[in-house]
Structure 1
Amino acid sequence: MLFGISPALQEKAILIIKKKIRTVTTTFTIFLILPLLVYLLFLFNLVPEKAIVPDEIRAPVAVIHSAAGSGTAFLISPTIMLTSKEVVNGLKVGDQVDISFDNAPNRPKVSGRIKYLSNQTDRISKTGSSPDASASDVAVIEIDPISEIEPLVLGVSDLLQPADEVFILGFPGGQYSLTKGMINNTSYHGKSLFKIDAVSNSGNNGGPCILRQDNTVIGISVGGGDAQAEDTVIKINDVKLLLQNANINF
């Protein structure tokens, strides 16, 4: 008997001490190894990245089907959608297209008609300067008012700089796609286009280019540049002027 403590009590005390030692050892090991595990997970891209595009940004982006094929369009008001003219190539003002909001609740499908097609003579400057060919690939589609989808917000493209982060939403092959990148240049061969270091896909044509900082539209994707892994984007300020000059409210 130790210090007047019975063998049974001694054994119980030893078990308690061993249990506390195991608890301390386990806790220490976890705190020692956990940071290393987290580091390795991020190092090898084993942790799924948090979605950078909220549902309210994806919902107004739609698949457009017409006699010209399929592409991407996006809602900027309850009745007005934007796309590139290439998406509706061969169609004329008044022709009908089918639109599917595949990322919106209940995936509504609507019919629309081509309201406006820009061309080389359309001016993008209020001062009356010569037209810029970069603005000649814009198409406007009109639909019946849709209330269950919030339109995208048009941003300000004039303030952007190289290295600003953006992403392009579209439906290549009819499947939703998100392409991340950044602005490489604020002009392209002297034209008023953004050059984006994002992999171009023809199905993204007509889709919105979104500024990651505030989720506003800063342009319309119109296809690849000189290199395979880049895209060109019509600046949204140029598009706004086109719409204003065409008396299209948005």
Structure 2
Amino acid sequence: MKILPLLMSVLLLGGCTYHGKFSRGLYRQPDVSPKINASVMVVQDKYVPDFFRVESDEFIAFRRFVIRMDDGLSAAAADALSTLFERVEANVYSQRKGYDYTAEVEFFPRYEEERRFYMRHEGNGYYNPRRLRVRRLPYANAVLRITLRNPHTGAPVAVYQEEDKEKIRFAFSTYVADGLATYTLGLFSPLQIQAIGGDLTHNYEQILTKLLKRIVKQMQDDRVIFASPAAQADLTRMDADYTAYLKAVATVLNSRDQSSGSAFFISADGYLLTNAHVVEKARDVQVVLYGDKEYSPDGPGYPKRYARVVARNQARDLALLKLEGENFPWLMLEPDRTQYYTGAAVASLGEPKGYRWSVNEGIISALRRDEHGRDMIQTDAAVNSGNSGGPLILKDSGRVVGINTWVVRKDVAESLNFAISAYEALRTFGLRQPITPAQIKRLEAARQPELLPDSAQ
């Protein structure tokens, strides 16, 4: 008589935990043609989570489920990226230098229960609001983030993140196993646990596959970022004499993918100038480039690149950025203050009010020194929200004489726009063109709190 209770206890204790894992070969989609001529290494020993747990009492004996996902997740990500890139492998972090890009894959699954209340039916079409029935619906929620980096510098090249939430669907056999476990006082708990765990694993695998499809689609739209410079087509708009200048201007995006300002290249290897208030306290910022997309109102959005904040000076409202790459079109700054004369014709470039790569012409109205002791250029060339950080170009020489910074409110005055002089920008960071690594090392070694990105965190 004592054997049966002992046997049931062993079965219950042994059946309280499910151990499963993601399958390999989850992602099966046709290759994109043509593929991007680049190699990608999926980092399999860092960032990829080993497993996750699900705990609930929704079902009888529904205790704990442990699902390993490291191997299956790395394989699924590698299979997804291999449909777009020529060479994709999962490898350890120490081997990253042999690839064009590293892919950091992060997957954050969550289990949720949504409670729904139903009024009990009393017959004759009458529902009693005082007698409620509670039903808990299980949901799988997951976030997938893939970061592509330059393996030599560690700088981010592109970051993609997708999230999805779906109701967990259980097979008919799972409900049968649950019923058997319920009406036999847990005798069939091991069968029940295995059935539920298998369905949970399958649901999270489906969500992972769906999120990978979305991210691969975004990468396909952004393929110009990953293509070699020789393979990129010369994509131009009808901007005539200003095309060369606009190619050197970038739009800076904030964390909500909305325009926050402009910047412009001051070297071929990717250094940009902008305002400190454009980048705020960020370490890395998203930028989009003129040359990354052919002008098409109905086409996909501009691909996003990532630039590192090298230095900033809040007092003078200036920031220096670094975008990975080479052979970027760039603009020469005019350090000679005698060229900033009243009446000189200038053009303001940037993204006023979200209208990317706009040009506004005017003249230098006056030279000023503001309350912060900065050299400022007053101009009647229109400057609006979004122009901040963009270049003010002297039309005679094509050189940058100022960095568009602020404007007097239109309800107070008209055509009162101001730019920090190029002389002030060069003096602030101690730069001379062409920019050399030695200048940047001196800037970072100075460890002046107002210049280092860490200071603003």
Same fold by TM (over 0.5)?
yes
2: distance between equivalents of 1:170 and 1:188? 24
Pair 1:62-2:253 in alignment: no
Residues 132-211 of structure 1: matches in 2 within 5 Å?
136-147=316-327, 149-159=328-338, 160-172=340-352, 173-189=354-370, 191-211=374-394
Pair 1:227-2:417 in alignment: no
Higher relative contact order (CA 8 A, sep 6+): 1
* Percent of aligned pairs with the same amino acid: 25
2: distance between equivalents of 1:76 and 1:151? 5
- When the two chains are superposed, the root-mean-square deviation of aligned CA atoms in Å is 2.7
**What TM-score does the superposition give when structure 2 sets the normalisation length?**
0.37
Q: Residue deviations 1:199-249, cap 9 Å, x none?
A: 220110000010000111111000103733221010101111112179438
Q: Which amino acid is the alignment partner of residue 73 of structure 1?
A: A
Q: Residue deviations 1:111-168, cap 9 Å, x none?
A: 1111111033xxxxxxxxxxxxxxx110111111232x32111123501210001011
Q: Which amino acid is the alignment partner of residue 349 of structure 2?
A: L
Q: Which amino acid is the alignment partner of residue 329 of structure 2?
A: E
Pair 1:73-2:253 in alignment: no
The Cα of 1:189 is off from its aligned counterpart by 4.5
Pair 1:84-2:275 in alignment: yes
Which structure would you say has the larger Rg? 2
Q: Which amino acid is the alignment partner of residue 359 of structure 2?
A: L
The Cα of 1:55 is off from its aligned counterpart by 1.7
Q: Which amino acid is the alignment partner of residue 264 of structure 2?
A: F
More strand by share: 2
Cα gap change, 1:188/1:243 in structure 2, threshold over 3 Å: closer, same or farther? closer
Pair 1:248-2:445 in alignment: no
Count of residue correspondences:
182
Cα gap change, 1:108/1:214 in structure 2, threshold over 3 Å: closer, same or farther? farther
Contact kept? 1:156, 1:237, Cα under 8 Å = yes
The Cα of 1:52 is off from its aligned counterpart by 7.1
Q: What runs of 5+ residues in structure 2 fail to find an aligned partner?
A: 1-237, 295-301, 432-437, 444-457
Contact kept? 2:349, 2:390, Cα under 8 Å = yes
Q: Secondary structure at the match of 1:86?
A: helix
Contact kept? 1:85, 1:137, Cα under 8 Å = yes
The Cα of 1:188 is off from its aligned counterpart by 4.7
The Cα of 1:105 is off from its aligned counterpart by 6.6
Contact kept? 1:219, 1:236, Cα under 8 Å = yes
**What TM-score does the superposition give when structure 1 sets the normalisation length?**
0.65
